[in-house]
């Protein structure tokens, strides 16, 4: 089966500024012509990164924006030996069945996965 969603990035850059809650925004596009797609977002390091919304429904051929945050403000950027990743899991929803409240219960059944890396950089501040 083809991919259900397409991200607008391969690597997401999160620029660290001391004392601020850093974030980066990215978009996912539903590639289906007639069906909504449910998406679930997770990271390889959930204690460091958080999303503005980790579950969402994207209407057919539409694009939704998501924001990745550092979970807390800190004095130094989080460092890891391997790049952290965002996992996007997606599921086609039959017409008329797409309700936001159903996503939490269906999250374990989402199929497909798209993996992208998170890069943390610093900025003077």
- What's the CATH code of the domain at 93? 2.60.40.10
> Where does residue 45 fall: left (phi above 0), alpha (psi -120 to 50 degrees), or beta otherwise?
beta
Tell me the C-alpha distance between 47 and 25, whole Å: 19
Highest mean pLDDT (candidates 19-28, 72-81, 94-103): 19-28
Domain span holding position 62: 5-122
What proportion of the chain, given as a percentage, has pLDDT over 70? 66
Q: Are 37 and 85 spatial neighbours (Cβ–Cβ below 8 Å)?
A: no
At residue 24 the predicted structure's pLDDT band, cuts being 50, 70 and 90, is: confident
Domain count, the chain: 1
- Tokens 């998170």 belong to 118
pLDDT of residue 97: 55
> Where does residue 96 fall: left (phi above 0), alpha (psi -120 to 50 degrees), or beta otherwise?
left
> Considering Cα of 119, then 120, then 124, then 125, what sign does the dihedral take?
positive
CA 111, distance to chain mean position in Å, is 15
Q: Strand 5-7 relative to strand 23-30: parallel, antiparallel, unpaired?
A: antiparallel
Q: Taking the model in full, what pTM does it have?
A: 0.72
> Where does residue 66 fall: left (phi above 0), alpha (psi -120 to 50 degrees), or beta otherwise?
beta
By residue count, the chain amounts to 125
Judge whether residue 122 has pLDDT over 50. Answer: no
Judge whether residue 117 has pLDDT over 70. Answer: no
């Amino acid at each position: 089966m083809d991919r259900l969603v397409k991200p607008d990035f391969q690597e997401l850059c999160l620029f660290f500024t001391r004392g601020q809650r850093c974030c980066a925004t990215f978009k996912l596009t539903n590639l289906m012509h007639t069906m909504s797609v449910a998406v679930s977002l997770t990271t390889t390091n959930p204690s460091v990164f958080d999303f503005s919304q980790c579950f969402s429904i994207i209407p057919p051929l539409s694009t939704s924006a998501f924001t990745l945050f550092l979970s807390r403000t800190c004095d130094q950027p989080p460092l890891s030996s391997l790049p952290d990743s965002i996992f996007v899991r997606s599921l086609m929803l039959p017409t008329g069945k797409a309700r936001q409240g159903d996503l939490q219960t269906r999250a374990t059944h989402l199929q497909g996965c798209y993996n992208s890396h998170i890069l943390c950089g610093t900025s003077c501040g």
